[in-house]
Amino acid sequence: SQTIHQWPATLVQPVGSPLSLECTVEGTSNPNLYWYRQAAGRGLQLLFYSVGIGQISSEVPQNLSASRPQDRQFILSSKKLLLSDSGFYLCASSRRAGQKETQYFGPGTRLLVL
Window 47-66: residues binding another protein (CB under 8 A): 49, 51, 57, 59
Nearest-approach distance from CB 79 to another protein, in angstroms: 25
Nearest-approach distance from CB 39 to another protein, in angstroms: 11
Question: Which residues are 65's β-sheet partners?
Answer: 77
Residue 39 makes contact with another protein by CB under 8 A: no
Q: Distance (Å, rounded) from C-alpha 71 to C-alpha 76?
A: 15
Nearest-approach distance from CB 16 to another protein, in angstroms: 26
> Measured from the CB atom, is 54 or 101 closer to another protein?
101
Q: Distance (Å, rounded) from C-alpha 89 to C-alpha 110?
A: 6
Q: Distance (Å, rounded) from C-alpha 6 to C-alpha 49?
A: 16
Sign of CA dihedral 73, 70, 32, 113: positive
Please give the DSSP secondary-structure letter assigned to residue 53.
Answer: T
List residues binding another protein (CB under 8 A).
32, 34, 36, 42-46, 49, 51, 57, 59, 88, 90, 92, 94, 96, 99-105, 107-108, 110
